[in-house]
Structure 1
Amino acid sequence: MSKEVRRRSRPRDGLGPSKSYSRPSQKSSKTPGGLLTKLAISAVAAGVVLVIAYMRYQTSLKSAVKTPLQSPTILADNSSSAAENPDRFWGTYRSHMYFGMKTRSKASPVVGLMWLTQFTGQMPPPLRHWCDQGDRLQRYGWMLHDGVNFGSQDIHDSTYMLRTQFVKRPGGQHGGDWSARVKAVPYNPNKPATVSLMFYMALDGQGQLAPQLTKKRLSSIKGYSEELGHFELKFPKNTATGARNSHLISHSPQLDKLKDVLMASMAVDAWDKKRTLPYFVLNGRAIPSDQPTNFVVHQVTATLPFEMEVVFESGSVTNRRDTLAGNVFENALQNHVSSFNERFLKTFPLKERGYSVNEINFAKAAFSNMVGSIGYFYGSSLVQSIYNEEPVEYWQTPLYTGVPSRPFFPRGFLWDEGFHNLLISQWDPSISKDIIAHWLDTMNIEGWIPREQILGVEARAKVPGEFVVQRNKNANPPTFFLPLQRLIKDMIKSNTLKDRTFLSALYPRLKAWYSWYNSSQVGKDPSSYRWRGRDATAVKQLNPLTLTSGLDDYPRSSHPTDDERHVDLRCWLALASGVMADIARSLAKDWEEYDRTHKLLTDNDLLDKLHWSEQGQQYSDYGFHTDRVKLERPKPQLNLQPGQRPPPMNQDKIRVTQEEPKNQFVNIFGYVSLFPFLLKIVEPDSPKLYKILNDLKNPSLLWTDYGLRSLSQSAKLYNRYNTEHDPPYWRGAIWINMNYLALGALDFYSRSRGPYQNLAASIYKDLRKNIVDNLMTNYEKTGYIWENYSDKTGEGKGSHPFTGWSALVVLIMGERY
């Protein structure tokens, strides 16, 4: 018998069974009470479970933004190691440096160059280190660089030129040897400057450095790190007349502080008694001998001309036949130069198209700057979702990527990189595959990729704080599908095991990325899309920015709402769906859905229904819009209440709407209007193509003698400041990436059967000539390729050198679309 039964059958007070015990009224008074208690306990338990589940759910929402995609990475953890990829282990991967070397490892020792001009009287002396437009160098950039083996760069300072060169040599187990040479030549031999060249090595984390002194001169640095094993950086004796040597042995808290540490260790020496101006030298050991050394500098000072060399030798090379210096260095360099020149003209047949030697050298410089600016970064992005009150750290990740501009944007930009690899992939497809794989391996569990990757202390030191945090609702154009079109066709054609393996690893990540766009960026109307990230409360902006589109201040609807439809994003997804169908078909995956989506998004009738404005006779965005807006300074507040503070004087101007907005097509003609044409979606026989072609050639709209301007002169926001302080950016300037797409589309339509072939061919010929001539003219005049160009004068504008997508001029010259 159970304990419960025995308890209930026991006589009360020893009197036998009690009648009252079994009365229904008593039974009903006790049983519900027990049941209620049990129910209450169950309810509390269920509540606790729900609370725990909710807390776990909230935690998962918060952590999703920083959780890697649950799919095997494309690249193995050791794919960038010296063992797996020795050819690309060492490189000029410090993109922000005038000259710097590092490896593709998490915590690579770094080598770099600093220099200064002596006897200028400036205190402190201007010290060149990181690329900086404020240095006002006459010009600098790689003249030759093959992306792997060698490079030669000219740097024009105020009164002299530096030529930096490097050559790599394979061998051993840790990436082989390399050597660098710097030549310093005065412009005027009768007035030679005295210059100090300073080569350094610094550790980023683990490792050891042991300076080697010979008669108080730093002759080499011996060292050890996990990825490099034992190594030695040698400083062969300089033979320049009257050269003086000094050095620094010190410790730097982190890599972005190297220049500060060096400047703090600089002393004034009386080298020449006849001079009254100070002479700056490094003061030797700056830390006690028992403290760890992670920063060593070798300084050579001499009156120009002179040159110096540095030689890196891996301890794992056991059969080294000679030192890579002097004539050995020169011979190796010339062999690489000859191979490069031959390969360049084979890849980009410019000679066959009638270009002169100077024009071909310009193209070589444009290309070399792009591949010479490829960087290797390691660190974590700072990210945030709507579920995170504060930004959180992404996981630690490597990134091998090109950069748009060494002085201004020395970091990875998602939409820029697709354009970069249109050029890189035609030179070396393996580099492009490596770059694309690195980017896609930074994808989180949602299928999102941070659009701007700022990895490591040096990269973060170059970025204003307000631009560091990346938000997971924000996209960028999926431009990787542009180079992937060609790469995938080539891989499908080759059908090698290596290419099939790469495609199989690539596909799940592209699928997740594609799905993220189709869930996070869709519009309210079927098959419409909308860029997220526009700020409807941005009252100081004439037209709220659309940074996520890549076109920044290009005018969209004046008042952002969820009802917007963005034609450029729809076209990007049309491109992406076609490429996805090709990959899936080649892998025998379910490709039909991608193909149906591609047909839907390229259907001209549906495109016209959503985006063709009969009033504007153009493809347009749709949204809550009015053209009648202006910036005005707020009027001073009168009749203040007692104790109420008056508003600050000279407040920034704010936007004033002079006419109520309404849902309508945004009839502002410019690059966005061209996207169905740029991405070859408009049918070759469509009358709308005829309208677009004629609008292209119209000087009052987009046509100039220098290229297609970004915004029509007839647009009310043409060349208008977007705030009181922010000058126009995509509101009239000529951008080379978009002109490249326009030329590719013109070339396509000139070869597609239809009534407008000849018109497209004629416009193509004139536009191509205008672009190439203007970039050449600017390069010869200024020494730089620029971020964008004035639609009025053709003059270069913005950051420089800008050898990201502006280097697409090489493909334009070679007619490779």
Structure 2
Amino acid sequence: MGRQRKRVLAGDGVAHPRKDEKLPAPHRKEKKKKADLGKVFINISIGLCILSLIWFFYALYMRSSLAKRVITPHPAPRALDANSSSAQVSPERFWGSYRPQVYFGMKTRSPRSVVTGLMWLRQFSGMDVNLRHTCEQGDHLQSYGWQMHDALSFGVQEIRDTDFTLTTEFVKRLGGEHGGDWTWRITGKQHSSAPHAPVISLMFYVATDTQGTLQAHVEDKNRMSTVTGSSEELGNFKITFGKPTAGETASAKYASYNFLQTVTQGLEKLTDIVKNSLSMRFVFSPPSGEKRPYVAVDTLKPPNHQQKPLDTRKESDFVVHQVTVQTPFQIEVLFESGSFRDRPNQLVGSVMTEELEKRKVAFDQKFEKIFGLHQKGFSPAQVKFSKGALSNMLGGLGYFYGQSVVQSPFNEYPLLYPEGALFTAVPSRSFFPRGFLWDEGFHQVLLSKWDTQVTQETIAHWFDLINIEGWIPREQILGDEARSKVPAEFVIQHNENANPPTFFLPLQELVERLDTQPDSRLSQSTLAFLQRLYPRLQTWFEWYNTTQAGPLPNSYRWRGRDKDTNLFLNPKTLTSGLDDYPRASHPSADERHVDLHCWMALASGVMANVARLLGEPHEGFERTHRILSNNDLLSELHWSEQLHAFSDYGNHTQAVSLQQEKVYVPPGQPRNQFPVARLVRAVRRAPKLQYVNALGYVSLFPFLLRILTPDSPRLEHVLRDMRDPDRLWTPYGLRSLSHADPLYMKHNTEHDPPYWRGAVWINMNYLAVRALHYYGNAEGPYQERAAAIYQELRTNIINNVYRQYVDTGYIWEQYNDGTGRGQGSHPFTGWSALTVLMMAEQY
């Protein structure tokens, strides 16, 4: 226990402090308060700093985490096994014409395939060397396309050049462990109008893609007789180049031969390598004829290998066998797999002819069994046209491998998506030789009729590219060849941007087929496919349902509209698939888009049916479908009483025009030192929130996707607008935008011509014919009217697409609403090939 200090008492009884004891300090209340407040302030400041640092690092962590999500794969098991496209699992589909971007070529369904192909040029034409290889509209061929193709075992293509025709045929034969053998046959014939028999140089080539080796075997006089090689997917193989003949049973023809053996650092460089190796030092000297110098690949003139400084890609072997021969001729090229040891004979000559004829007969029989066009009274020429339309889509199936370039709002710079494979059809071999999300759904509506397995594999490939968010890049630019054909501004894919979820169209058909054939083997395969697909499909639907939500409950809005509104008459909405179709003039978060609302109504209905089939919870999807299909809600959100049509809603004014901007030039200054005046948008009346009131395809979506009930009074207005020649009706199909609309056929910028502002598009017309068929067979007050318009519209579309094919040699991307003439890219046997289904009346 501590001792207390004693105090000394004075005589007066008062305690006085000791001398060594300090007097107590006076009490300072104010300073103490200030000191306490200062400590509190310091403590608060320290606490806030700590919280700020915690928040800062948390925000960094969250941003980093969110930034990675765009390239994080979906965690569910893949819809396809990793080796599902291999020769061991799918030998019959391993080899194929999976290079739609070239006129003729084959590869395997493997990431680094050995590729084969054909180039050609006409000799002595008096023009610059015009080497044909990749499909180019600038080549101005009279026509080209597959006439027959079964997507499995054979194909027949006809290419009409200036004064001669090349027919390319191939046949496959299974055997061994690496996909078996195949043979090409190239037949050249001059046109009857050609004054002289053309001399053609055919260049057959083989190239590895960073793995595998090739060895050329050359005989006397520069003739490459064979190429032997080896690769991981193919094992050992041999390619034999036959000598040209005048026909299958004719003797050999005179020909000059040349070859090239070199390397390449990318398949997109093959054309340039050949061009840079061409020489005129060779002489074409047939036994009876004039000796003339001709153009050929030259081993003594090494190709120009100048590469970009940063191009460090691994080199690949590349060999070219050139045959220069006068028409008519026939040449065969034989590929033999080293593991096919018990082949009965070589697939050449009469053996190949016999096999080819068998496949042609089987193709014709299958085509008629599925589509029944002969029974419907179509002429042989029309049936041949429809076979070509289907075959060119089947021959347009490609196998691509690579990485997309993607970006999210949380990434400062674009990122590389995980490597992946994609088996898909392409819209156009010349202009769009790659995968497009919204096109592919339409493609598979047709292909599912022909080969359900192709449809299931294609859809599975697309969904195996989905990320953890539920997003699929809408344009697939995979590999160097694909990227070389895409303008730089379209390469980067943004993860907030959607595309119409058209895969729900073929999925809807697969589900309906299950209802009619519940116990078939095909149905069991489809159920297994849907089971594997379902986790990814569910995430995809939820991604649309959340990221594309609109400002009001149960409304939807496309993200990704053009933001520089000053340069566009009407800012585009590429994500909707309808590009420059008129939307609200001033993009804002207040927009509601009727076409996306209808896509989500369709999607929720299909999701409900799929979930019910698989025994998964389906009530939520059914509830969403019931709400979105409610015609009263649809009218409340999108019916314009002024237009008497369904319409988008947003911040809009029609008082806009393109005018030349004023560029101020100070007096005395040269005009050429200042920017060139552009066309910019002038707004004469301020926008306000209102219906957009543009009558066209978007207005028809509740009808096109069959959301309207057969007794809906709105249906009367829709049918009236469709059949009105002053609005949407033409003798060639429905135009995309009313003839009376202020933006009808208006340029969107000085250099941006109208696209979806009047032209006739076949995919939308297919949906219209399909809907008319539905309403024409459903009881209701407008049944007879719908049935009558159905017959008329279907006939108009079929007749015009066929007529343009006969006149021009092509099926086209779109058709002029005034003349019916084909326009845009060609050949376009993507969704324009849906004409086949309209002919067959299969919806």
Normalised TM-score (structure 1): 0.93
- 1:540 and 1:815 mapped to 2: Cα distance? 44
Change over 3 Å in CA distance of 1:276–1:122 after alignment to 2: farther
Structure 1 regions of 5+ residues with no counterpart? Answer: 1-18
CA deviations on 1:268-290 (whole Å, 9 max, x unpaired) are: 134147868641122237679xx
Distance 2:461 2:699 in 1: 33
- Tell me the distance in 1 between the aligned counterparts of 2:125 and 2:787: 57
- The answer to which of 267-276 and 174-183 deviates more is 267-276
- The answer as to 2:580 corresponding to 1:553 is yes
Indicate if the aligned counterparts of 1:111 and 1:199 stay in contact, CA closer than 8 A.
Answer: yes
Does the CA-based 8 Å contact 2:441-2:505 persist in structure 1? yes
1:210 aligned to 2:215?
A: yes
| Map of 2:318 onto structure 1 | 295
Q: Which residue of 2 aligns with 1:179?
A: 183
Instruction: Say if 2:157 is the partner of 1:153.
Output: yes
User: Aligned to 2:722, which of 673, 696, 701?
Assistant: 696
2:812 corresponds to which letter in structure 1? W
Compute the displacement of 1:121 (Å). Answer: 3.2
Give the structure 2 partner of residue 70 of structure 1: 75
2:412 to 389, 394, 397: 389
Match for residue 820 of structure 2? 794
Secondary structure class of the residue paired with 1:680: coil
- 1:508 — aligned with what? 535
The range that moved more, 359-368 or 51-60, is 51-60
Superposed displacement of residue 214, structure 1 = 2.8
How much has 1:538 moved relative to structure 2?
A: 2.6
- Paired position in structure 2 for 1:766: 792
Give TM-score scaled by structure 2 length.
0.90
Q: Deviations over 1:615-651 (max 9, x none)?
A: 11000001111111100011232668x9999983532
Q: Indicate the residue corresponding to 2:269 in structure 1.
A: 257
| Cα displacement string for residues 408-441 of structure 1 (whole angstroms, at most 9, x for unaligned residues) | 0000000000000000001001100000011111
- In structure 2, which of residues 510, 513, 516 is the aligned counterpart of residue 487 of structure 1? 510
How many angstroms apart in 2 are the aligned matches of 1:53 and 1:497? 49
Please tell me whether residue 648 in structure 1 is matched to residue 660 in structure 2. Answer: no
Confirm or deny that 1:369 pairs with 2:372. Answer: no
CA, structure 1 residues 715+293, in 2 after alignment: closer, same or farther (shift >3 Å)? closer
Deviation string, structure 1 residues 330-386 (Cα, Å, up to 9, x no partner): 110000000000000111011111101000000000010011101000000111111
Q: Residue in 2 aligned with 1:12?
A: none
- 1:443 is the counterpart of 2:443: no
Matches of 2:654 and 2:301 in 1, distance apart? 63
Distance 1:686 1:51, change over 3 A: closer
Q: Which residue of 1 aligns with 2:295?
A: 280
SS in 2 for 1:707: coil
CA RMSD of aligned residues (A): 2.6
With over 3 angstroms needed to count, the CA separation of the structure-2 counterparts of 1:275 and 1:174, relative to structure 1, is same
Residue type at the aligned position of 2:375? E
Distance 1:506 1:286 in 2: 53
Correspondence for 1:139 = 143
Aligned counterpart, 1:13: none
Which of 728, 740, 762 is the aligned partner of 1:736?
762
Structure 1's 178 and 272: CA in aligned 2 closer, same or farther, altered over 3 A? Answer: closer
**Aligned partners of 2:441 and 2:503 also within 8 Å:** yes
Task: Supply the distance in 2 between the matched residues of 1:500 and 1:476 (Cα, whole angstroms).
Answer: 26
User: Offset at 1:73?
Assistant: 1.2
Q: Tell whether the 8 Å contact from 2:697 to 2:737 is kept in structure 1 after alignment.
A: yes
3-state DSSP of counterpart to 1:763: helix
Q: What is the CA-CA distance between 1:499 and the residue it aligns to? A: 3.2
Task: Check whether the contact 2:733–2:796 (CA below 8 A) recurs between aligned residues.
Answer: yes
Deviation of the 1:35 alpha carbon: 13
Quick check: which has more Rg, 1 or 2? 2
User: How has the CA–CA distance of structure 1 residues 41 and 655 changed in structure 2, closer, same or farther, with 3 Å as cutoff?
Assistant: closer
Change beyond 3 A, Cα 1:626–1:37: closer
Alignment-mate amino acid for residue 233 of structure 2? E
Task: Report the Cα offset of residue 49 of structure 1.
Answer: 5.7
Q: Residue 746 of structure 2 aligns with which residue? A: 720
CA contact (8 A) 1:249 1:285 kept: no
Change (3 A) 1:56 1:802: same
1:222 matched residue in structure 2:
228
Q: How far apart in 2 are the matches of 1:347 and 1:204?
A: 39
Confirm or deny: 8 A CA contact 1:265 1:282 kept in the other structure.
Answer: yes
Task: Compare 182-191 and 541-550 and name the one that shifted more.
Answer: 182-191
- Give the aligned partner of residue 403 of structure 1: 426
Q: Deviations over 1:12-48 (max 9, x none)?
A: xxxxxxx99xxxx9xx9xx999999999999988776
Name the structure 1 match of 2:605: 578
Q: Distance in 2 between the 1:646 and 1:322 partners?
A: 74
Per-residue CA deviations over 1:675-694 (Å, capped at 9, x if unaligned) read: 00001111111121111112
Number of matched pairs = 790
Matched, 1:100 2:112: no
CA deviation after TM superposition for structure 1 residue 217, in Å: 2.2
Distance 1:696 1:118, change over 3 A: same
Alignment counterpart, residue 280 of structure 2, candidates 260, 265, 268: 268
Note the residue ranges of structure 2 that are not aligned, 5 or more in a row.
Answer: 1-20, 246-251, 304-313
* Cα shift readout 1:756-785 (whole Å, capped 9, x = no counterpart): 111111000000110011011101110000
Displacement, 1:55?
2.6
| Equivalence for 2:309 | none
Task: Tell me if 1:163 matches 2:163.
Answer: no
1:544 and 2:564 matched = no
Counterpart for residue 587 of structure 1: 614
8 Å CA contact 1:121, 1:278 repeated in 2: no
The 10-residue stretch of structure 1 (45-54 or 211-220) with the greater mean CA deviation from structure 2: 45-54
CA distance in 2, matches of 1:38, 1:625: 54
Whole-angstrom distance in 2 between the partners of 1:46 and 1:560: 38
1:615 to 633, 639, 642: 642
Q: In 1, are the aligned partners of 2:122 and 2:201 still within 8 Å (CA)? A: yes
For structure 1, which segment, 270-279 or 503-512, has the greater mean C-alpha deviation from structure 2 after superposition?
Answer: 270-279
**Structure 1: which amino acid aligns with 2:649?**
Y
Q: Deviations over 1:135-161 (max 9, x none)?
A: 000000000001111000000000100
Contact kept, 8 Å, 2:407 with 2:492, in 1: the verdict is yes
Q: 1:292 to 1:785 in 2, by over 3 A?
A: closer
Show the 5 A alignment for 1:116-127: 116-123=121-128, 125-127=129-131
Which stretch shows the higher mean deviation, 137-146 or 530-539?
530-539
